[in-house]
């Protein structure tokens, strides 16, 4: 299957990394989350409702919308926090949000994870010298994030492919049903860090390669 891959690139100050990543990841997840499915008899199902929340950023002049799910927010924040800690104060890194479907394989092979949409967010971290520049950076990064949200919306509304609505037995191969209030498509978040010399040396990168080569 052809997996569509989209790349977004942002340049931010160190203290803005967390909010910028949350804004973009949550914007994507807003579009890729559904209400909880409730399967009934006769093969029909009903879908729960997704609430939304406006979130103001503290270090960026920006407001974004995320789904109303504290559980999901916790998961995303944890991943972003790890990414932010791994990034040095003036390095580069990339965080990827991949939506996939599981395909059951027979023993002894493990289940295959087939990605159908991958979003990569490249981050350049800069250091600014003084408060005036930081103030300008707040506004500029806010504008940039606005442009990225528009990009995301345009890409999402262009895409034709979405996994077929699954039957009850198959729902865990398409959706993440672990949350109480919303149901995003199955996703995973990975990241890699490029140190200042331009070489990719993180262990995460090695793990990624390992996973790809493993059966």
C-alpha 139/C-alpha 35 separation (Å) is: 34
The answer to whether residue 74 forms part of the interface with other proteins (CB under 8 A) is no
Residue 130 CA, chain-centre distance (Å), reads 32
- For residue 180, give both structure tokens: 């109480």
- CA 15 – CA 38 distance, rounded (Å): 41
Q: Pick from 5, 167, 178, 196: which binds other proteins (CB under 8 A)?
A: 167
Query: Considering beta carbons, is residue 42 or 197 the nearer one to other proteins?
Result: 42
**Residue 95 vs 141, nearer CB to other proteins:** 141
187-194 and 92-103 strand pairing: antiparallel
Q: How many CB atoms lie within 10 A of CB 156?
A: 16
- Specify the residue, 74 or 180, whose C-beta has the smaller distance to other proteins: 180
Using the rule CB under 8 A, is 73 a contact of other proteins?
A: no
Q: Is residue 52 near other proteins by the rule CB under 8 A? A: yes
Q: Is 36 in the site for other proteins (CB under 8 A)?
A: yes
Using CB under 8 A, pick the residue from 164, 197, 198, 199 that binds other proteins: 164
Near other proteins by CB under 8 A: residue from 7, 114, 165, 201: 165
- b/e per residue, 17-48, with b = 16+ CB within 10 A? bbbbbbbbbbbbbbebbbebbeeeeeeeeeee
Cβ neighbors of 206 (< 8 A, separation 6 or more) are none
Interface contacts to other proteins, rule CB under 8 A? 27, 30-31, 34-36, 38, 40, 42-54, 56, 61, 63-65, 67-69, 129-130, 132-133, 136-137, 140, 146, 149-150, 152-154, 156-157, 160, 162, 164-168, 180-182, 206, 209-210, 213-214
């Amino acid at each position: 299957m052809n997996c569509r891959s989209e790349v977004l690139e942002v340049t931010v100050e160190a203290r803005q990394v967390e909010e910028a990543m949350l804004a973009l990841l949550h914007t994507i997840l807003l579009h890729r989350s559904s209400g909880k499915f409730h399967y009934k008899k006769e093969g029909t199902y009903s879908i729960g409702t997704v609430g939304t929340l406006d979130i103001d950023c503290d270090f960026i002049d920006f407001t974004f919308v995320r789904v109303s799910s504290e559980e999901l927010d916790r998961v995303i924040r944890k991943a972003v926090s790890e990414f932010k800690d791994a990034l040095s104060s003036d390095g580069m890194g990339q965080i990827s949000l991949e939506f996939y479907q599981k395909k059951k394989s027979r023993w002894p092979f493990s289940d295959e994870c087939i990605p159908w949409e991958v979003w990569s967010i490249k981050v350049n971290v800069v250091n600014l010298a003084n408060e005036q520049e930081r103030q300008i950076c707040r506004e500029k990064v806010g504008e940039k994030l606005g442009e990225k949200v528009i990009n995301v919306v345009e890409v999402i509304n262009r895409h034709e492919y979405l996994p077929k609505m699954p039957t009850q037995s198959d729902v865990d191969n398409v959706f993440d049903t672990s949350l109480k209030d919303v149901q995003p498509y199955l996703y995973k978040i990975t990241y890699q860090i490029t140190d200042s010399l331009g070489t990719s040396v993180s262990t995460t990168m090695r793990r990624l390669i390992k996973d790809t080569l493993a059966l």
